[in-house]
Amino acid sequence: MRIYISADMEGVTGLVDAADVQPGGRDYERGRLMMAEDVNAAVRGALAAGATEIVVNDAHGPMRNLLPEHLHPAARLLRGRPKPMGMLEGLAPEHDAMVCVGYHSRAGTLGLLSHSFMGHEIEDIWLGGRPVGEIGLAQATAAALGVPLAALTGDDHACAETMAWDDGVTTVAVKYAHDRFAAELRPPEEARRKIEEAVGAALSAPARTCSPVPSPSALTVRWQSASVAAMLLGIPQVTSLDSRTVRAEGDLPALYRLFGVWMRVAASLTNQPPYC
C-alpha cells in the first residue's frame, strides 16, 4: 500500500501564532519539531495499516520545515521549492490514499491561522462555484487522480470544513479555535495518539470511491490586489470577472498547477506577511 502525506503547519498540535510557523519566528524551531511529531504519528498509523511505501511532502511555506533526521525512517521526504504541484508535489495515481497533516481552514473563517495559500492576498476561492480553500482543492485534485483523501488533522474548524466538503474523510481535531490566534490545545501525547489511531483505522477501512468534481470545472480567485488580477490576464485562458477576480476553466490537476503559477505571479508583485 502506497501512502502520500501532505504536511502543512498551521494545524499542527500546539501551534497558535505566526511566530510558531514562520522561519525566524520566536517559536518556529519548536514548531517544526511539533510538526515532525504529528507527521510521525501519521506515519506510524499508516505502517500499522500495512503501508509499504510512504512519501511525505513538506507543504508549508518555504517547504523546508521538516528536518530529515527528525522524520520517521519509514518515510521519504519531499523537501524544498519550487515544486510544480506545490502542496501536492509527488501525488500520483499509483498512491492508494492521501493523508493531510496540520491543515487549516480557509480564508474568512475564525479557524486557527485561517487563510487560503497566501495569507490575506487571497480573499476567496471557488471551485465549480463552491467556496473552497486548501483542504477542498487538495481533496478535489487527489480525487481527480483517483486517490481518496483518507484522513486529515488540524483544528476543529479545519475538520468541520473537511467534513462539509467530503464527509467520508476521517478527521482528528488536535486543537479547538477560540479565534485566529488562540485555541484550547489537546495535550500533545493525546493528540498524537489520536492521529496514529485515526490514520491507521482510516487506511485499514475498505477503499472509498473518489467523487471528482465535474470536469472541466472553473477555478475563481478574488485577490486583495487589483494589480495581481490585472497581471494574471496575460496568461492564456484567464478571464476577469471584476477588477480583483479572475477565473479559468479546465481539468484537475492541471487547474491546481495553473493556480500555483498564479500564486508565483502574485508573490512577485506583493510583499506582505501572511498573518497580518
Give catalytic residues, as residue numbers: 115
- Cα–Cα distance, 195 to 38 (Å, whole number): 7
- Number of other residues whose CB lies within 10 A of the CB of residue 56: 26
Tell me which residue of 128, 142, 132, 87 sits closest to 108, measured CA to CA.
132
Q: Which three cell numbers stand for residue 162?
A: 473537511
Q: Which three cell numbers stand for residue 207?
A: 477503499
Question: What residues have CB less than 8 Å from 32, skipping those under 6 apart?
Answer: 9, 65, 66, 67
Positive or negative: CA dihedral 110, 200, 76, 188? positive
Query: Helix 134-144 and helix 254-269: axis angle, to 10°?
Result: 150
